[in-house]
Amino acid sequence: MPAPPPAKPPAAYRRLRPRHVLRMLRIARTFAKYGLDELIGAIPFFRPYAWVSRLVPFRNRVVRTHTHGARLRLAMEELGPPFIKLGQILSTRRDLLPEDIIGELSALQDAVPSFPSDQAAAMVERSLGAPLEESFLEFDREPVASASIAQVHRAVLPDGEVAAVKVRRPGIERVIETDLAVMFAFAAQAERYLTEARRLRFVAVVGEFAKTIHDELDLEKEGAHASQLRRNFHNNPVLRVPRIYWGHTTRDVLTMEWVEGLPIDEPDKLAEAKVDVVEVSRNAAEVFFQQVFRDGYFHADMHPGNVFVGPGNQLRVVDFGIMGILAADQRRYLADMLLAFLRRDYTRAAEVHLEAEYVPPDTDMVAFEDALRAIAEPVLDRPLQEISMANLLMRLFQTTRRFHMPTQPQLVLLQKTMVNVEGIARDFNPEMNIWLALQPLLREWMEEEKGPTRLWNELRQEAPEWNRLLPRLPRVTSAFLERAVNDELVLNLRGPQLDQLRQEVRAGIRRLAFTWTGATLLVAGAASALIPGLGARLGFPAWWLAAGLAGAGLAAILWSLVDRRR
């Protein structure tokens, strides 16, 4: 498949100012310093810079003593918070980068020195529109945590509630916007000169990063994420999500309930507190299942620093800047795919990918099934406690080039979450495999999704649309049939897709016939109930006829919906 044409950055990032050019030169110098010549030498403007950099003694020493991945990590650490964030996101993109670089980028830590407390206090006062003493009874000047976007202070609200106040770093938005413009410029130039950069869609990757980091900059949006997750687990005590204090929250300041708990990555403290590790493992599996499959809304940054254990082995989470969303059809396909892999039914696993349109329609399904077998067997043919579906999903991403599978950003986030949840469960209970524990839940959920309850819920959701379409249906159907009879319908057919299109057309005509028949019977039933004296002429109550016609009409419409689901 030929590489796509070079992409252009969004309009807001196309105009470069002097500060952008200076930043580009510093980035080029840093990459050259760490021997990353290929990242800048491919762009003609920077080639002289790359050639001269080879004469620098420090560069030659670093190249000899560090791997390529380690040098990339060091360069990103030196370039500051936006590049550290980019490196962390790239560490989840196993479809883009080799494993040695992924391992190094995974070690990037988003920890930077705190900014002065006076600046934090001024930011809070400006954002909340009141002196600090009016907004809080207490406000600890020393932050309890600091990262590239914001830092957290402990405070006490006027009603006595203890709160965590997250304050955005002053000036960080300008820094990030400058670096985003430079990243887009580098990506666009790379796509212009490198075929591989176009295939990997460098500009689109930077675009995904821009969306993620903009979400993290908006602390009010992070509060909305936390509120949604808290509402989802309102009746489930295994996970506690802190309450948001909206009266003390803005785009620059987020105030939430203070979370008490033991850090999940400190086993000595957990053992001293006599935490039930088996129950914590089960809770982690249950939390993952509800977030991903029942709700389709999951915390996408559940690394150990964001997870705590509270009384009763309850899990508690913080930091809601990155959330993943899975639509209902994505959840069904994911569950179907995981169950197929766990059963080692690679034919069904391949079919699921085709149905979900994760692979093109003209994919060689025999070859794809064989590739899935090669991906899964090394993962599944291990002791039960060592089976990792996160590892399987990672290996699946690595087949994207061969079968032209487009990257699914939400599945990339999900794979990262799976790694974290598997790690939590395995650290607490090495003998447990959460996927075997989840298998019955997945089967039960899939049966619910394909059962009558799901069908009834879909009918209720579609009722307003049917109410709008039914009065127009006779006229639209008549016009369609008239055009078909007069040979006025034009179909553009392609050879490889012809059989599939024929099947879809036949199925569409069949569904249309059932829908039209059902609608006609419903209208006839309603009309018969309104005709005066009809029952006397028929010799039985008119409502019998009306009910029979309406029942037959509903049955026909229901059949058309069931046929569509198949």
Report pLDDT digits (tens) over 524-534: 666 666 677 76
Is it the case that residue 328 has pLDDT exceeding 90?
no
Of the listed ranges 367-371, 421-425, 498-502, the least confidently predicted one is: 498-502
248 lies in some domain: no
d(CA 479, CA 467): 20
Half-sphere exposure of 117 (CA within 13 A, CB side): 10
d(CA 424, CA 390): 13
pLDDT digits (tens, 9 = 90+) for 287-321: 988 999 889 999 988 887 889 999 988 999 999 98
**365-380 and 328-342 helices cross at what angle (nearest 10)?**
70
146 lies in some domain: no
Residue 26 pLDDT class (50, 70, 90 cuts): confident
Which residues lie closer than 8 Å to 270 by C-beta, 6 or more apart?
Answer: 262, 264, 277, 309
What is the total count of domains within the chain? 3
The reply to whether 414 and 494 lie within a common domain is: no
Model pLDDT, residue 191: 82
Sign of the C-alpha dihedral computed for residues 509, 512, 514 and 520 taken in this order: negative
Please name the residue ranges forming H helices in 129-257: 132-135, 172-193, 195-199, 202-217, 219-232
The reply to whether 462 and 440 lie within a common domain is: no
State which of 215, 243, 276 marks the end of a domain.
Answer: 215
Q: pTM of the prediction?
A: 0.72
Q: Output 106 or 41, whichever has higher pLDDT.
A: 106
% of the chain exceeding 90 in pLDDT: 22
Q: 424 near 307, Cβ under 8 Å?
A: yes
Model pLDDT, residue 565: 46
The reply to whether 100 and 180 lie within a common domain is: yes
In a 3-state reduction of DSSP, which class is residue 358?
coil
Model pLDDT, residue 258: 95
User: Is 364 considered catalytic here?
Assistant: no
Encoded amino acid at 139, one letter? F
The reply to whether 269 and 373 lie within a common domain is: yes
Which residues lie closer than 8 Å to 51 by C-beta, 6 or more apart?
Answer: 41
The reply to whether 210 and 104 lie within a common domain is: yes
Q: Which of 37, 95, 179, 301 is catalytic?
A: 301
Half-sphere exposure of 160 (CA within 13 A, CB side): 0
142 lies in some domain: no
Range of the domain at 93: 11-112+174-215
